[in-house]
Structure 1
């Protein structure tokens, strides 16, 4: 197994479009060069805004006819609605880890660099013909609705999505020194192993 991280442009000067272009180009390059890494499939995923970038990269691969290179998609506290989901819009400054209203203002600042469906987020894309997905979220996360809504649309179009919401957990809880984080990270590792084993058997 080989691990790879995308070294994309940060959204400096609010240029989220450049960050998206980097993510799409690098993931496509990886899909084209799997043999050089002696692997057959990609497990694509990310946390928070990284899940947004990973989802857009997956949609890009599908558009290029290369989605079969992806064994599965994993999201941890993912952001998929760039317009701001209901849970984000209703959140207050009392949210743990991130301030919901500040996060909403950041979305409003970043999206003008995008156009069309990209400006709305992957939640509003055609999600058909995508690999299995696991979406993990915290019940106290201001963007909880992003994960739930993405799961519902992915499941309705593909029938291969799972969503797990951990109680009393804030945004990015999987990085905190708490038992729920250990459980969540163990769940993700087990799911990834299951998907890769399924690909080997298939």
Structure 2
């Protein structure tokens, strides 16, 4: 696979832009290199209750430089101060703005949706929103989903997490779910509006799924990839041995390999769409 060399490419400085649609506003954190072949809508993770778009600056900077893409990070509202689904609404707002303004702002309508952990959950929901409400799924050329939570009611691997689980223990996971989804029933959590594993997944762009075998969300990725593929879409599944949740953010060789694969997958899809202009 193609391995881009970043040593002699210019640095890209991020800037923040507050955008409005009607009375709603959201602040985006943007990397915009000199050459833009596509735009990535990047949604960070943090259990729906932690983080900012700036946390992803190192990886977004590298994507912008090596893939020749603009990266638009979403500063969505966090629980519990802003109860779920405020974060979903903010990601939809960002997607709506990007679909309407990508050509004017970045010189292209080619879009990728990307996220990890809770951000992968939001990225999947945002992709479905673009298909169902914006009717612009043809603009989305690919989706990258890293160890997402796609069934809020809990897949087997999530339910089997224990106090010895790496990165987040059973206690951590239970506290996060109680903080973000207080009083929600299993039926509410499995609603396809919020758990994309149960949604109609037809007519979606190609997707790259990334997960480690030591991740408590391993089944979420396995199940979501299978459903995405069985719905007639192209998928790519990258599984990394013994890697825990959040491993792509860690300073390890396995993380470097996974992040390089994600960038190369984006580059290959940009090259493919220039000649085929189609999902398939």
Do the two structures share a fold, i.e. TM-score over 0.5? yes
Question: Aligned-residue CA RMSD in angstroms?
Answer: 1.7
Looking at both structures, which has the greater relative contact order when contacts are Cα pairs under 8 Å and sequence separation is at least 6? 1
Q: Quick one: structure 1 residues 155 and 80, their matched pair in 2 at CA, closer, same or farther if it must change by over 3 Å?
A: same
Distance 1:140 1:117 in 2: 27
5 Å-filtered alignment, 1:1-202, equals: 1-13=69-81, 15-36=83-104, 37-64=106-133, 65-111=135-181, 116-119=191-194, 121-202=195-276
Question: Post-superposition shift, 1:59?
Answer: 0.3
Higher strand share: 2
Distance 2:268 2:183 in 1: 38
Distance 1:93 1:201 in 2: 50
User: Across the two proteins, how many residue pairs are aligned to each other?
Assistant: 201
Q: Normalised by the size of structure 1, how large is the TM-score? A: 0.93
Q: Which runs of 4+ in 1 moved over 3 A?
A: 111-116
Say whether the 8 Å CA contact 2:137–2:204 is kept in structure 1: yes
Unaligned runs of 5+ in 1: none
Q: Normalised by the size of structure 2, how large is the TM-score? A: 0.68
Q: Quick one: structure 1 residues 78 and 167, their matched pair in 2 at CA, closer, same or farther if it must change by over 3 Å?
A: same
Unaligned runs of 5+ in 2: 1-68
Say whether the 8 Å CA contact 1:15–1:113 is kept in structure 2: no
Q: Quick one: structure 1 residues 113 and 59, their matched pair in 2 at CA, closer, same or farther if it must change by over 3 Å?
A: farther
Distance 2:245 2:82 in 1: 22
